[in-house]
Amino acid sequence: MSGGHAVRRGLVRALPVSPAVVLLVLFLAGPIAYCGYIAFTDLQLTGQAESSFVGFENFRTAFKDDAFRNAVWLTVVFTVLSSLIGQNTLGLALASLMQRASKPVRTLTGAVVIAAWVLPEVVAGFLLYAFFRRDGTLNAILEWLHLPGQQWLFTLPILAVSFANVWRGTAFSMLVYSAALNEIPQEITEAAEVDGAGGWRRMWHITLPMIRRSIGTNLMLNTLQTLSVFGLIWVMTRGGPGDRSQTLPLLMYDQAFLKSMIGYSTAMALLLLLVGALFSLVYLRLLRTEV
């Protein structure tokens, strides 16, 4: 009798979250499971009556494909430059500086940075394309400074799109770190100043350890978002010139909708999902680790 009562009590407690569970199964777990099935078939968008099961052939083809290996490398470079280094570091720097700035400066800086964040990805891509193009804003500034310009989207495409992603996404990191820094007790910082600790020592020994969890959360969310960036790169370079800025999302689009290889592109999407999951596990482990 007591066992049945415990079961009923568990069901009652689970009832409020059941709609969310149903929605997750329908719109998240369901599509992922279906994609998992497609990745093991030779499904094509056109020119095929029905698909057949091919096992791990799509994955073997991917690992032998020079285009896939190049896309993996560029995705790692893009993620490290624009997320792990760019957005994370610049967001923390802006949050730290804004704590010491006057209210008008904080308001103006926050408005400018957040404006870039709320812009649609396609609009941001066009703006940065105009900035980096041969006769764009950057070369105009360099010419005014009597410095040589160049075709940035041709010579350094992956760096250009990485800068664009930093420009667009830094606001999120800034907001996360601003909230984290505001939670640090003022007495601790003041005590460190009295003891003679400089700004860098306070940052390294006090600030960073105390906001460690916020750093891990921010890195995880930024990494997952950056791994899936498509519109920004597509608008600026379309993966070119050649394949020099073709990250995995652009390669998957090319294989799925330009070459009609749905099964093969879905296999690559699962590999990208696995990479994101591995990053998440690393960050979650860091979050559980005590300093």
Q: What is the pLDDT of residues 5-48, one digit of tens each?
A: 666 776 667 677 778 778 877 887 888 888 889 999 988 887 76
User: Which pLDDT value is given to residue 4?
Assistant: 63
Cβ 211 vs Cβ 184: under 8 Å? yes
Q: How far apart are CA 254 and CA 102, in angstroms?
A: 49
With a CB cutoff of 8 Å and minimum separation 6, the contacts of 180 are 95, 211, 214
Q: What is the mean pLDDT of residues 144-150?
A: 87
User: Which pLDDT value is given to residue 128?
Assistant: 92
pLDDT band at 66 (very low <50, low <70, confident <90, very high): very high
User: Which pLDDT value is given to residue 2?
Assistant: 55
> Residue 93: which CATH number?
1.10.3720.10
Asked, for residue 95, whether it belongs to a domain, the answer is yes
User: Which pLDDT value is given to residue 40?
Assistant: 93
Domain hosting 254: range is: 65-288
Q: How far apart are CA 84 and CA 220, in angstroms?
A: 9
- Write out the two tokens for 245: 């800025």
User: Which pLDDT value is given to residue 188?
Assistant: 74
Q: How far apart are CA 99 and CA 114, in angstroms?
A: 16
Q: Which of 249, 119, 213 is nearest to 171 (CA)?
A: 119
Asked, for residue 11, whether it belongs to a domain, the answer is no
Domain count for the chain? 1
Strand blocks (E) in 50-206: none
pLDDT digits (tens, 9 = 90+) for 261-278: 999 999 999 998 888 888
Residue with tokens 């407690």: 13
Q: How far apart are CA 10 and CA 226, in angstroms?
A: 39
Q: 13: exposed, middle or buried (C-beta count within 10 Å: 0-12, 13-18, 19+)? A: exposed
Q: What is the mean pLDDT of residues 205-225?
A: 85
User: Which pLDDT value is given to residue 73?
Assistant: 94
- Write out the two tokens for 51: 């698909």
Cβ 58 vs Cβ 262: under 8 Å? no
pLDDT band at 196 (very low <50, low <70, confident <90, very high): low
Asked, for residue 20, whether it belongs to a domain, the answer is no
Asked, for residue 75, whether it belongs to a domain, the answer is yes
Q: Which of 123, 175, 160, 122 is nearest to 245 (CA)?
A: 160
Q: How far apart are CA 106 and CA 135, in angstroms?
A: 33
Asked, for residue 54, whether it belongs to a domain, the answer is no
Asked, for residue 46, whether it belongs to a domain, the answer is no
